[in-house]
Amino acid sequence: MKILYIVLDGAADSPTSPRKTLEEASKPNIDSLGSHAVCGMVYTVKPGVAPQSDYATLSLLGYNPDDYYPGRGPLEAFGAGIEMRRGDIALRANFATVDPGTLRIIDRRVGRSLTSREARELASAVDGMELEEGEGTALFRATIGHRGVLVLRHRSKPLSDAISNTDPAYERRGRFSVALEKYEPFIKLSNPLVEDEAAVLAARMLNEFTLKAVEILDGHPVNLAREKRGLLKANAILSRDAGGLPEEKPPSFQERFGLRGASIVEMVVERGISRYIGLDDIRVEIEGRAREEVYREEAARAVEALETHDLVYVHLKGPDEPGHDGSFEGKIKAVEDIDKHFFAPLLDRLSSAGLEPAFVVTSDHATPWDVGAHSGDPVPLMISHQSIQGSIGKFSETVCLRGRLGTIIGGYKIIPKTLSLLAG
């Protein structure tokens, strides 16, 4: 049995939202899968938790994050292709705009105007920076737009990831960071969170990197050229979510489920998760391309991958951003674009190839347009195959709340439930 596992990023709204995207969007191709399907709701992490995409994605792929989550930093590093060593720490990072004299943050994401090409040039200026009088090194990679990943390494001493963030908008709580509603808009120097030499050293190295980066980047030719064009400088790097290599690697996806899996994802952290659990990463170039064109290629590559893999995981971007912007119309358009430019050609190609896979369709989290942020609500889940008796009709929160799958707590239960349903 072949399985197409498709995640609509942030498409779900809250069951209490006054209007619901999946209810009102015109999505005939997605809804056609409901003619032979069962449905329900799923908390991708747990009730009351507003999941970040990395934690939710790991769970959706069958790994309980409480047992297997290594931290956001390492996942970003895996996705960026950085080989971490035992004793290294990795942090997710992003370019920002600051006043170099006061370190006051003008824009945490450089107005979202930084191109990946510019970011790569700036990254090369700080990559390999020597710290701790040559005993330490900073490895820095730009990934997409203003985003990047930082790995800190010491020649002879291990580093601890128990350190606070330099990004003041996020506060470290355990393995995670949570967004703060209010914060002082200044770079925040890192502090050790435990009384430990390795944490003290790590915080000191992160602070040294952060301050040196401002000095190097502020006068960089890329930033001088941006300033002449009236654009914000990308003259600082904010870091958060430190993590180190896990003590043990998780069992591979094939070991866990007996399935050869592949993934088609866009974000670096999602690619890192794929590599972390041993999925074959199928790359689709997204930079500089229309979203509709990307969807069509993702559909084509998904069908190709089904020829050689048992399960193909596809994580589709689009609905999450207008959800954060509070735009109901934007979410509607994003879902309709996915239906038209991904699902329509996908179903045509499957038919032409004579393939009849099972479908799993869900979201990694809800991003209700009336909230403007990820929420702790459950999201709709549909499992579809010609062998399943019964129709659910429209794929939406309202329908799935009444579905026979009930409410599942933990996205890591979806794959086992799907395999059991298809086997039985």
* DSSP-based three-state secondary structure for 156: coil
pLDDT of residue 174: 83
What angle, rounded to 10 degrees, do the helices at 291-306 and 328-338 form? 40
- Provide the token pair at 219: 């006068």
Looking from the CA of 354 toward its CB, the CA atoms found within 13 Å total 0
- Provide the token pair at 9: 């990023």
- Provide the token pair at 197: 């030499």
Strands (E), 44-191: 89-98, 105-107, 129-131, 136-142, 147-154, 170-173, 176-179
Alpha-carbon distance of 38 to 383, in angstroms, equals 6
pLDDT of residue 318: 95
Residues near 318 by Cβ (< 8 Å), separated by ≥ 6?
8, 9, 11, 291, 334, 335, 337, 338
pLDDT of residue 181: 80
Residue 16 DSSP symbol: T
Which pTM does this prediction carry? 0.90
DSSP-derived pairing of the beta strands 280-281 and 136-142: unpaired
Written as tens digits, the pLDDT of the chain (424 aa) is 899 999 999 999 999 999 999 999 999 999 999 999 999 999 999 998 888 889 999 999 999 998 999 999 999 999 999 999 999 999 999 999 999 999 999 999 999 999 999 999 999 999 999 999 999 999 999 998 999 999 999 999 999 999 999 999 999 988 878 878 899 999 999 999 999 999 999 999 999 999 999 999 999 999 999 999 999 999 999 999 999 998 888 999 999 999 999 999 999 999 999 999 999 999 999 888 999 999 999 999 999 999 999 999 999 999 999 999 999 999 999 999 999 999 999 999 999 999 999 999 999 999 999 999 999 999 999 999 999 999 998 999 999 999 999 999 999 999 999 999 999 7
Give the start-to-end residue ranges of the domains of the chain.
3-70+249-423, 75-243
Hunting for tokens 């009849």 — which residue is that? Answer: 356
Residues near 71 by Cβ (< 8 Å), separated by ≥ 6?
90, 161, 175, 241, 242, 243, 244
Alpha-carbon distance of 339 to 336, in angstroms, equals 5
CA-nearest of 7, 94, 108 to 318 is 7
- Provide the token pair at 252: 């591979």
Hunting for tokens 């990943």 — which residue is that? Answer: 149
- The topology (CATH level 3) of 3-70+249-423 is Alkaline Phosphatase, subunit A (3.40.720)
